[in-house]
A and B are shown apart, each in its own frame.
Chain A
């Protein structure tokens, strides 16, 4: 009975974090709500027996990316954004479209897309989510893609340095 309880707890936390990020006026607060969301998703990964990805999620997102975000927000010393008028045509359309997308996604999920709705055996999933299992595939079958990702990261690093330099723009 622990499984459903854990799922619902973290699902609610993830939703709260996401909505908090969306609603908060202060960027720092937004970013902190986002951290909660990311942490909850990592826990959801754990409920799915994907330990490796869960750890990476915390390390990369909470540890690296969110720190970067907070760093930039504080660097730029961003305050609160001025409020918009109560109603904006764009807001209305955006809500409508959001509802549309949600409806479509849920419709597709309900349709099941013809795949089996049952989970694989817990032991199988547990073996699948280990660092050993992921690493084995990553360094053999996806070795080339891994190299490309390495190059991409290098390029992004150089690009970021160049863009952020004072004289560049």
Chain B
């Protein structure tokens, strides 16, 4: 049995949707962050799979950049979570509604 590109892509899709559900369902800001990381990883998997399927190095470079941005995002995002926690003593996004109209 040959493992084709579609297997990887399907796996990536399932992982991505798990990430989406995490963002939509969990109320802990840090878990939401983790879910976002999961989504990024799912996309990275797609990129790597494509890149290796066609032996094109550009996709790998893009993954490299995504990781860098993810690192930056995690740093800033966690700093925001800390700042929020300091003010509200919670990381439950349901209790943080500063944008309420």
- 1/0 contact trace for B28-46 toward A, CB 8 Å? 1011011101100100110
Q: Which residue of A lies closest to B31 (CB)?
A: A30
Which B residues are in CB contact (< 8 Å) with A97? 20, 24
Q: Which of B20, B24, B53 contacts A120 (CB 8 A)?
A: B53
The residue in chain A whose Cβ has the minimal distance to the Cβ of B60 is A134
What does the 1/0 interface line of B12-34 toward A look like (CB < 8 Å)?
01111111111011111011011
Contact A117 B34 (CB under 8 A): no
- CA–CA, A169 to B79, complex, Å? 11
Looking across the interface, which residue of chain B has its beta carbon closest to that of A78? B91
Contact of A53 among B7, B53, B63, B91 (CB under 8 A): B63
CB-nearest residue of chain A to B19: A18
The SS class assigned to the B binding surface is helix
Q: Say whether A15 contacts B58, CB under 8 Å.
A: no
Contacts of A48 in B (CB 8 A): 8, 48-49, 52
Q: Which residues of B contact A133 (CB under 8 A)?
A: 57, 60
The 6 closest A-B pairs by CB, nearest first: A156-B72, A105-B13, A163-B79, A94-B24, A160-B79, A124-B55
16 residue pairs from A and B, CB less than 8 Å apart: A11-B11, A15-B18, A30-B31, A44-B45, A47-B3, A56-B67, A78-B30, A94-B21, A105-B13, A118-B5, A119-B53, A120-B55, A152-B68, A152-B72, A153-B68, A163-B83
